Amino acid sequence: MEEPGSPRQAAWPSFLRGEDAHEVYAHLCNGDPLRVRERAARRLRETWYLLEPDRVYEKALGTIAIAARCDDPPADLDGWAALQIDRTIARLLRADEEAERTSPGLLTDEQRTFPLLTESLRVDPELVRTVTVAFNLLPALPRRAFFELLIEGAEVADCVERGPWDHDGLYAAIHTALAALGFDLFAERPSSFPFQKQP
């Protein structure tokens, strides 16, 4: 019998309980009760990694289903879910880098599918893994510049205001990010370029 005032034992919610990971996975797919799709997309924006959000979502559901069968129920379910999403992102980054190193040019359909790149930026589907691996290996600042300017659509002045760069630093960062994606657009910096520092 539980003593009055004693801390309540953490327990898995019903959607994280099941006979096996397959059953838990089915629960997670039914309405996304942990908001994994939203959390995964937000985490990619926070870490500035270029991975297809639906791919991360699908893999994260599997990671969470397996972890729910192996781990003890956490006191902080949201923090636990965030950790599983981070683990999924890290695993996908490693897997893509390893595949690009060992099997260049051999892509799965999953690795070719990335509408942001293939439809918006017109990247050849056969090059999706190559350019995303190159991008994700960049330091944080070029990745951040790409996400703030091209994904979030922030104004240059707002990016500079938030820092940690001046106009020249932001120009260099976005140039580096675009070059990794195969867009070496500004080999010679034009005076009209919007990142040009104003006198």
Could you report the per-residue pLDDT of 73-128, keeping only the tens digit for each?
A: 999 999 999 999 999 999 999 999 999 999 988 989 998 999 999 999 999 999 99
Q: Is the dihedral of CA 149, 47, 125, 189 positive or negative?
A: positive
State yes or no: pLDDT of 197 exceeds 50: no
Task: Return the structure tokens found at 173.
Answer: 């960062």
Instruction: Characterize 48-87 residue by residue with b for buried, 16 or more Cβ atoms within 10 angstroms of its Cβ, and e for exposed.
Output: bbbbbbebbbbbbbbbbbbbbbeeeeeeeeeebbbbbbee
Do residues 171 and 193 touch, judged by C-beta distance below 8 A?
Answer: yes
CA 96 to CA 130: how far, in whole Å? 9
pLDDT digits (tens, 9 = 90+) for 11-56: 999 999 999 999 999 999 999 999 999 999 999 999 999 999 999 9
List the end-to-end C-alpha distance of the chain, in Å, as a whole number: 75
pLDDT digits (tens, 9 = 90+) for 131-185: 999 999 999 999 999 999 999 999 999 999 998 999 999 999 999 999 999 887 5
- Other beta carbons within 10 Å of 137: 12
CA 167 to CA 162: how far, in whole Å? 12
Local confidence band at 195 (pLDDT 50, 70, 90 cut-offs)? very low
- Other beta carbons within 10 Å of 37: 16
H-type alpha helices, the chain: 21-29, 36-47, 53-70, 77-102, 109-112, 115, 128-136, 140-146, 156-162, 167-180
CA 93 to CA 87: how far, in whole Å? 10
CA 126 to CA 21: how far, in whole Å? 33
CA 145 to chain centre: 15
Do residues 185 and 171 touch, judged by C-beta distance below 8 A?
Answer: no
